[in-house]
Structure 1
Amino acid sequence: MASTLLNWIIGLGLGMGPLGSVMHSPYVYDSLRLLVLGSIVEFGRRFMYWAMERFKIRFSMTATFREGDQAYEWLMLLLTEERVWEKSRDFQVAARSSQRKWGINSTLAPPMGPGFPELPFPTGGDGGQILGNAEYVPQYGAPHLFKYKGYWFEINRTQGETTFGPYGRQSTGGGMSLTVYSLRMSTLTELVESARLLYTESSKPRVTIHESAAQYGGADWSRVITKYRRPLESLILEEETKAMLLADAQEFLESGNWYVDKGIPHRRGYLLYGPPGTGKSSTIYTLAGELGLEIYTLSLSANMLNDGSLKQIVAGVPSHSILLIEDIDCAFPSREDEEEEMMTKNQMMMNPYLLPPPKSAITLSGLLNVIDGWLTTLITEEGRIFFCTTNHVDRLDPALLRPGRIDVKVEYKAASQNQARDLFTSFFTETSSSNPGTSSSPSSPSSEKAESSESTSKSSSPSESVQDYALRFSETIPQHEFTVAELQGYLLLHKKDAQSAVDNAEEWVSEQNKEREERKRVEKEKKEE
């Protein structure tokens, strides 16, 4: 075909006088030949591209998944379990961390402790076992074709872009498009539902925490971390408070139909307030694990967050989840903050090169509207739970605390003597994995006997058990003076010797009191200045 077309062109040239002699030149002939061949190849390429696009339009469907949405997480887990990414040849290797990275070994996990099953090690593309503490995250540079339940799917993923602006590093979330080579809508819905069920089942041993990430126009939920579930028994809190919170939340989640029948919005708001280190955040993470809910945690002091972007990001929180706003009082200035702001203005007048500190752009009315709009959605089966924490409940506006926004208020105090006893008992009660520095490999009977006798000599003497030590320790700790975090920090210094922890507790209390008095004196002198 190419030769026929070329001869026709030369025939035209022969009838053009001087141009005909040029056409007989071998250089011109070869150049024209290459030109015609290239044109034919390019035409064929474009025609094939056009035909494939027409085929896709007529015989396929395309669905888009946006990063930061829960459906995106469902599909990524399914693709990981189906080992779609293992065919990639371009990886980014990063150290394993609690932040979720969908790589070929993203399910690799250490043992979770007694009472939890060990997760298997996945295998690589060649069938070999992947070991170590690294995540092999594919770069998704090319489309991937895979077969699922008899149908062919094509996956294309776009990476988010990271830029640096006046508010620091900002990112635009990526996305993913899934092409289904089928005309049956049920093929797509079955895959999405299978992905959701797989995600729900695989998330049971863990608590999934979605954190807001700043980007242009506000923020999204693209930053995801996972933590292993914490048993309720390990939460050092008064038993009455634990039982009340768990029972209230369970009863609320099971009463969706009742709320709808009565025409009442199916929502519940909780406020946990008290000094830092008393276990407010730990309570929420533990409850989320017990209830099987995911947490969406939001910081009101984040850059590029205002009333409009706050409404947008909260609207993306799905039902049957927990919206958590920690330190909610930080968004609104207190009297001390106003004094500090006045001092900052004075310093800036003296030094024009001094940059002003970042300030929250969220207003109280904007926050109240967002909470009302998110909580008052009528849901037939799945409700919405709102948690907020604060160290200074007196700074909160009464409008925020009214019933309908905050239904349950729980005060957290410094540790009671009962909590001190429970914390000590949990530290020194021997379990199969509680000995720091011990290996999980099998040991001989003689070594086990030696370890047992050493543990007995350090943890408890023949005349005293761990419970006796715990009682003595709790009697040394003043009631409601030290937080659980402070007591835990002290016990960590003596984690291998229960008797030492008891014997030195009184001296530690005395030292802490002296340090507190010194801090009070310094703060008083600063105020007087």
Structure 2
Amino acid sequence: MTELAPSSSSQSSFFASLYDNLQQNPYFNAGAGLAGIGIAMSFLRRTAQISNTYFRRRFMITLQVNNEDAAYPWLLDFINKRSATQTRNLSANTTVHQAESGKTELSISFLPGHGTHFLVHNYRWIKVERQREKQVIQKDGIRTPFETVTLTTLGSDVRFFKSLLEQSAREAIDNAETGLVIYQAVGPQWIRFGVPRKKRDIESVVLDGKICEQLVADFQEFIGSAGWYADRGVPYRRGYLFYGPPGTGKSSFISALASHFGYSVCLLSLSERTLDDDRLNHLLNTAPPNSVVILEDIDAAFVSREDPLSNHPAYQGLSRVTFSGLLNALDGVACAEERITFMTTNYVERLDPALIRPGRVDRKQFFGNATEMMLRKMFVRFYREPSDSNLADEFVKKAISSAEDGKHLSPAQIQGHFLMHKQDPRAAIDNIRNLF
């Protein structure tokens, strides 16, 4: 007999029966459930990874800096100052300074330790990760482990990290222990004179009225006007003449002004016996960058040609520098650009008009003896008194009333008097007559 092929209804009933049997099988149901959960979890994990990558690319920015970069210690210090309340994980950085005399100074600073830190800057949370790698680098002759610090925050504007780095660098530079560098002319070149001096605060030199503010503004305007001078074909040079009685702060203010703007000071004496016209011209035109040149007591080197003293034997042969040589060095054809020159004198009337004409001296400023305002300001500043202190009032009144025959006190005299009574403002008041 011929075997008949199963009908479609029979096949359907077979598969239905097989599905019912598998569904009733507990082992199969457990495996299918686990497989379904695995597939679902894999899908969700993949979706989360794609979403996280997309979110980080579109809505987060990252900055990475390693310890081969100059900004690395500045950034760590910046982070440490702002994450002090969020982290207790610190690393110490110890520096030892030992002088030739044996005096030793120890400096310890703390930086964020390795790991994760959080801080808030400009109302934005930042995640910080500091990592140390196994490889080492050569830095300042010392082998140190390679490190990186990674900053991550919400946002898409990279200017946020740019401003953060600029602020950290600015804070580090402002707090750096730098000093006022003094140069002295030795032969045909400028040589550093001693170690850098401690910078003097511009506010420590007390001047009358708005003189300090005006001179600072004038200096600031000049150093920021190189383009203006170039566009108009005007030589980019500035000359100042400070004149007045001895001890009124002329040289002190120049040092404070240079310190305030981060300039060095080049001292040049025209009375030096080895100085001649050629060397003077060379020195004035080869001053170190970002420096000011000071010609102190200019009246001692030259006397006005209109002054009867100019032919006196006592003033002959004081210097090998000729007057015409000085004038050419100040604004001759071969003069260098971007030069700032200060001249000081106690006797401005002795100076030749040709020396202090515009172009050689662009600003003249008188430094006078102590006025009532200066007396009060010096007393308040020295003794840390309130500005409306009764002691300051008493000191000013007694200083003015004690003056005899039109005598005036110079700021140098006042400061010397305060140093004699630096812990006792009352004694400074009671003994003011000793200055006259």
Tell me whether the two structures share a fold, i.e. TM-score over 0.5. yes
Q: Secondary structure at the residue paired with 2:271? A: coil
Mapped contact 1:267–1:376 kept (Cα < 8 A): no
Instruction: From 362, 369, 372, give the equivalent of 2:328.
Output: 369
Map of 1:201-350 to 2, 5 A cutoff? 205-213=178-186, 215=187, 220-333=190-303, 335=308, 339=312, 341=314
Mapped contact 2:180–2:259 kept (Cα < 8 A): yes
Change (3 A) 1:330 1:499: same
Change (3 A) 1:504 1:223: closer
| 2: CA distance, partners of 1:319 / 1:373 | 20
Instruction: From 467, 472, 477, give the equivalent of 2:389.
Output: 467
Residue 51 of structure 1 is matched in structure 2 by none
Q: TM-score, normalised by structure 1?
A: 0.47
Change (3 A) 1:202 1:475: closer
Map of 1:22-101 to 2, 5 A cutoff? none
Mapped contact 2:244–2:346 kept (Cα < 8 A): yes
Change (3 A) 1:303 1:339: closer
In structure 2, list runs of 5 or more residues that go unmatched: 1-92, 105-137, 142-172
Aligned length: 272
Change (3 A) 1:337 1:428: farther
Q: Secondary structure at the residue paired with 1:399? A: coil
Q: TM-score, normalised by structure 2?
A: 0.56
Q: Which amino acid aligns with 1:482?
A: L
| 2: CA distance, partners of 1:398 / 1:410 | 16
| 1: CA distance, partners of 2:327 / 2:382 | 42
| 2: CA distance, partners of 1:149 / 1:132 | 22
Change (3 A) 1:336 1:262: closer
Mapped contact 2:208–2:374 kept (Cα < 8 A): yes
Instruction: From 404, 414, 417, give the equivalent of 1:487.
Output: 414
Q: Secondary structure at the residue paired with 1:477? A: helix
Q: Secondary structure at the residue paired with 1:394? A: helix
Cα deviation 1:135-178 (Å, max 9, x = unaligned) = 99xxxxxxxxxx8789xxxxxxxxxxxxxxxxxxxxxxxxxxxx
Instruction: From 356, 361, 377, give the equivalent of 1:406.
Output: 361
Mapped contact 1:296–1:322 kept (Cα < 8 A): yes
Cα deviation 1:78-112 (Å, max 9, x = unaligned) = xxxxxxxxxxxxxxxxxxxxxxxxxxxxxxxxxxx
Residue 347 of structure 2 is matched in structure 1 by 392
Mapped contact 2:243–2:345 kept (Cα < 8 A): yes
Residue 259 of structure 1 deviates from its aligned partner by 0.9
Cα deviation 1:484-528 (Å, max 9, x = unaligned) = 0011112222111111111222x325xx2xxxxxxxxxxxxxxxx
Residue 482 of structure 1 deviates from its aligned partner by 1.0
Q: Which amino acid aligns with 1:481?
A: H
Verify: 1:508 aligned to 2:434, yes or no.
yes
Cα deviation 1:407-433 (Å, max 9, x = unaligned) = 110001111111111111122117xxx
Residue 371 of structure 1 deviates from its aligned partner by 0.8
Q: Secondary structure at the residue paired with 1:268? A: strand
Residue 385 of structure 1 deviates from its aligned partner by 1.1
Q: Which amino acid aligns with 1:277?
A: G
| 1: CA distance, partners of 2:273 / 2:245 | 26
Change (3 A) 1:302 1:376: closer
Change (3 A) 1:281 1:210: same
Change (3 A) 1:364 1:230: same
| 1: CA distance, partners of 2:285 / 2:323 | 18
Q: Which amino acid aligns with 1:208?
A: V
| 1: CA distance, partners of 2:377 / 2:262 | 26
Cα deviation 1:423-457 (Å, max 9, x = unaligned) = 11122117xxxxxxxxxxxxxxxxxxxxxxxxxxx
| 2: CA distance, partners of 1:390 / 1:465 | 33
Q: Secondary structure at the residue paired with 2:206? A: coil
Residue 230 of structure 1 deviates from its aligned partner by 1.3
| 2: CA distance, partners of 1:469 / 1:393 | 37
Q: Secondary structure at the residue paired with 2:196? A: strand
In structure 1, list runs of 5 or more residues that go unmatched: 1-119, 124-128, 137-146, 151-199, 343-356, 431-463, 513-529
| 2: CA distance, partners of 1:256 / 1:465 | 40
- The CA RMSD measured in Å over matched residues stands at 3.3
Change (3 A) 1:233 1:341: closer
Residue 367 of structure 1 deviates from its aligned partner by 0.3
Residue 373 of structure 1 deviates from its aligned partner by 3.8
| 2: CA distance, partners of 1:288 / 1:260 | 24
| 1: CA distance, partners of 2:248 / 2:321 | 27
Verify: 1:130 aligned to 2:98, yes or no.
yes
| 2: CA distance, partners of 1:338 / 1:396 | 14
Larger radius of gyration: 2
Residue 220 of structure 1 deviates from its aligned partner by 4.0
